[in-house]
Amino acid sequence: MNTSTLIAPPALVRRAEQHDTQAIQALDSAHYIHPFTDHGDLATRGARVITRADNIYVWDSEGKQILDAMSGLWCVNAGYGRKELADAAYQQMMTLPYYNSFFQTTNVPAVQLATKLAQLAPVVGGRRFEHVFFSSSGSESNDTNVRMVRRYWDLLGQPQRKVIISRHNAYHGSTMAGASLGGMGGMHAQGDLPIPDITHIGQPYCYEDAQPGETPEAFGLRAARWLEDKILAIGAGRVAAFIAEPVQGAGGVIIPPETYWPEIQRIVDKYGILLISDEVICAFGRLGHWFAYEKFGIRPDLVTFAKGVTSGYIPLGGVMVGDRVAQVLIEKGGEFNHGYTYSGHPVACAVALANLELMEREKLVERVRDDTGPYLAQRFAELAQHPLVGAAETCGFVGGLVLVKDKATRTLFNPDLAVGMVCRGHCFRNGLIMRAVGDRMIVAPPLVMTRAQVDEMMALILRCLDATRDELHAAGHLG
Ligand SMILES: Cc1ncc(COP(=O)(O)O)c(C=O)c1O
């Protein structure tokens, strides 16, 4: 038997630019279980095959160019095609492709990256982040948070402090702990989640949840006080931590009112509970700061990161461990029975270092904060004039708009119409990747996007909104 023909991959690429799309789709359907995908549906449509990328664009197997306004999954902050990152991976693979950090061992890129991150993490209110724990993803990092928070309280002789409070419609990952911390009903419904001692409060979504006449500021305070109500209902002595994304990403780019975070900080301080800022999306320039807690002036004890730390070129995540927790773990903790094979992976850390260096050299964080971020905000505000758009807002380089049936009365569409998906379909057909979360359309473009490219993206968004309105109108769903 000729085994080489059995194991050789089928020839799906004819020439550099020519792919056999149907053959790829057939094999994809036959063998590949995708994340967050209805496979019955996928089999009838065939997956979109993305074959290459450069700068802010990706190309599919049919040669179609698409502007990626989502940076992949909110991660390709430095844009596609960055040779520096490939070179860093190659060099590190040739020097030391792998070694673990267990059993009193370390490696140079992991040490350098931990040091670099400790330098980048701003000190707010005297709180420092001198320590980092590495994982390979945001989900793993949030599992680490659960273990670390519980270990912390055990070491302080308060093992009854177990409960972690999160928010409905939050996203904290897809592992058992990550999905439990998250507040997605669809995820909780599969796999008997949440796991015990994780509970949720409402999200600060002003557009839908503010009462008539209530200002965003008043709503922000009211939403933050749901945390205090929950703490009191559970008993403060049983609450270990509160976890939240500074701006909810996967939930639909929910930007809290200005009053929200200061009030949350007041409450966690009052009851002495730990604050976890999940910055898997929000860190590394996404909101115009290296870390988003600085933007909101909050003082978290633990900060989850992943995605943008390597611009998504290679998996890496972790937890910035503030001094309050680190001191207890290090001074009282003995061995922390937790870790991953790939914690501090030398190649991932080398790519992260190259990525952070590139971002510093090109001043991407400052650019988003001072130039392209405010410009995106200005252009997004114009979208609010569109008859289909109830509200449009940005924070740094994330933006969200809500599609509504009637702007004046804030009447939403019947969810069965899946208007967001209709709009998303028009985006793809017009060469734009925009995500739909219900009827919220969201963007998180690569941070290298120029003002001219912001204009290009906005023109595409407007064209897709018009096409969506025309389709809804023709079907009789608009007045
Ligand atoms: C805020 C937040 N936390 C955690 C995660 C999970 O990260 P990962 O998919 O790398 O496990 C995500 C992913 O989008 C996220 O947005």
| Residue 251 Cβ contacting ligand 1 at under 6 Å | no
Reported CATH class of domain 48-78+364-474 = alpha beta
| Residue 25 Cβ contacting ligand 1 at under 6 Å | no
| Residue 139 Cβ contacting ligand 1 at under 6 Å | yes
Task: Determine the Cα–Cα distance for residues 12 and 20; give it in Å rounded to an integer.
Answer: 5
Alpha carbon 8 to its chain centroid, in Å, reads: 36
Quote the pLDDT of residue 1.
44
Atom of ligand 1 nearest to the CA of 281: 16
| Residue 231 Cβ contacting ligand 1 at under 6 Å | no
Q: Which fold has domain 87-361?
A: Aspartate Aminotransferase; domain 2 (3.40.640)
Backbone angles phi, psi at 401, to 5 degrees: -135, 150
- In this structure, which amino acid lies at residue 389? V
Task: Determine the Cα–Cα distance for residues 185 and 147; give it in Å rounded to an integer.
Answer: 23
Rounded to the nearest angstrom, the distance between the alpha carbon of 256 and the centre of ligand 1 is: 19
| Residue 203 Cβ contacting ligand 1 at under 6 Å | no
SS3 13: strand
| Residue 179 Cβ contacting ligand 1 at under 6 Å | no
Task: Determine the Cα–Cα distance for residues 89 and 346; give it in Å rounded to an integer.
Answer: 9
**Separate counts of helices (H) and strands (E) for the chain:** 19, 17
Which residues are paired to 124 by β-bridges? 127
| Residue 281 Cβ contacting ligand 1 at under 6 Å | yes
| Residue 183 Cβ contacting ligand 1 at under 6 Å | no
- Other C-beta atoms closer than 10 Å to the C-beta of 224 total 22
- Put residue 219 in one of left, alpha, beta given phi > 0 → left and psi -120 to 50 → alpha: alpha
Task: Determine the Cα–Cα distance for residues 460 and 470; give it in Å rounded to an integer.
Answer: 15
Backbone angles phi, psi at 55, to 5 degrees: 55, -110
Which residue from 149, 170, 123 is spatially nearest to 273, judged by alpha carbons? 149
| Residue 279 Cβ contacting ligand 1 at under 6 Å | no
Rounded to the nearest angstrom, the distance between the alpha carbon of 278 and the centre of ligand 1 is: 9
User: Within the chain, which residues score under 50 in pLDDT?
Assistant: 1-4
Write the CB contacts of 329 (distance below 8 Å, at least 6 apart in sequence). 148, 151, 152, 155, 321, 336
Look-up of token digits 């409960």: 163
Task: Determine the Cα–Cα distance for residues 138 and 283; give it in Å rounded to an integer.
Answer: 12
Q: Whose CA is nearest to atom 4 of ligand 1?
A: 172
| Residue 278 Cβ contacting ligand 1 at under 6 Å | yes
Report the C-alpha dihedral over residues 308, 362, 117, 264, rounded to 10 degrees: -60
Q: Are 469 and 404 in contact (CB under 8 A)?
A: no
Helix/strand/coil (H/E/C) assignment for every residue in 403-429: ECCECCCCECCCHHHCHHHHHHHHHHH
Could you state, in order of their start, the residue ranges of all structural domains in the chain?
48-78+364-474, 87-361
Angle in degrees, 0-180, between the axes of helices 346-361 and 83-95, rounded to the nearest 10: 150
Q: Which of 248, 302, 307, 316 to mutate to test the pocket of ligand 1 (most atoms within 8 A of CB)?
A: 307
Cβ burial of 456 (10 Å; 0-12, 13-18, 19+) is middle
Report the C-alpha dihedral over residues 264, 319, 190, 29, rounded to 10 degrees: 130
Q: Are 433 and 70 in contact (CB under 8 A)?
A: yes
Helix extents (H) in 182-318: 185-188, 206-209, 216-234, 260-271, 292-296
Atom of ligand 1 nearest to the CA of 248: 1
| Residue 305 Cβ contacting ligand 1 at under 6 Å | no
Quote the pLDDT of residue 315.
98
